[in-house]
Amino acid sequence: MTDTLSKLTYQTFQQGKSIFGLTHKTISSRLLNLLHPPVNELKTKPIEPKILLEIQQRLNQILETDWQDAEKGVYPEAMLFDNPWEDFFRYYPAVCLDIPKIWELANKKRYQDFSPEIQTEGYPSYYLQNFHHQTDGYLSDMSANLYDLQVEILFNGSADAMRRRILAPLKQSLQAFSSTPAHQIRVLDVACGTGRTVKFIRGTLPSASLFGTDLSPAYRRKANQLLSENPGKLPQLMQANAEELPYLDN
């Protein structure tokens, strides 16, 4: 009965996030189209119902797998309900206020506009973009604060469930090192962003030494803030380009 109730609670939690994400996107899109019509009218056609059904079925499968992995002990069941509520209530108004600026940049195709105080020197050209629904791209503290919430909305509340899909294959791969003491296991997250995935890895491998690299100082600050809330040794985060990692080969 307990497992049944827990699963029902999880499903309700996920459905709530999904409905919220869909509602947010629908309302904000309609308001912006009304208040700020696109400069160039785009010719679009509705998505076919069978494609929408397939997308929903795939999402349901992701959530079912998420539940099953927790039930099998791949990671703690509590992880299923991990949600940054403090950030949600603090930053959701800022997400809404940021939408008109994002809309304007997208309409005018100004994908490389940054605030004057943002330092852009030294980054690869592909990184200096703001088209992922973040004012100032990946390079401001506000972007880092809004990122996880915006991604959850973008994926209708399934972003964390998708992140956790790496945990089962990670634990399975580490069985090859079963003779190695747990504290000597080292795991690297390349492009760790705000640290949500690293946090889930820590919950799954509490004794392992964790490392993360990311190009954004702002996102690493956010990651350090998030990861410092967990007990145990802090992961080591470094600024690095994925093409030139500061580690020895192999």
Structure confidence by residue, pLDDT tens digits, 56-102? 999 999 999 999 999 999 999 999 999 999 999 999 999 999 888 88
Structure confidence by residue, pLDDT tens digits, 17-46? 999 999 999 999 888 888 777 666 667 788
Query: Does some domain include residue 131?
Result: yes
Q: What is the domain extent for residue 124?
A: 2-162
Residues 34 and 110 in one domain: yes
* Percent of the residues in the chain that have a pLDDT greater than 90, as a whole number: 74
Query: Does some domain include residue 66?
Result: yes
CATH number of the structural domain spanning residue 203: 3.40.50.150
Residues 60 and 157 in one domain: yes
Query: Does some domain include residue 249?
Result: no
Residues 24 and 42 in one domain: yes
Query: Does some domain include residue 248?
Result: no
Sheet holding 209-214, edge to edge: 186-190, 209-214, 236-239
Residues 19 and 139 in one domain: yes
Burial annotation 45-81 (CB, 10 A radius, 16+ → b, else e): eeeeeeeeeeeeeebeebbeebbebbeeebbeeebbe
Q: H or E stretch including 28?
A: helix 2-35
Determine the Cα–Cα distance for residues 154 and 150; give it in Å rounded to an integer.
6
Residues 143 and 177 in one domain: no
Residues 75 and 155 in one domain: yes
Domain total of the chain: 2
- The model's pTM is 0.91
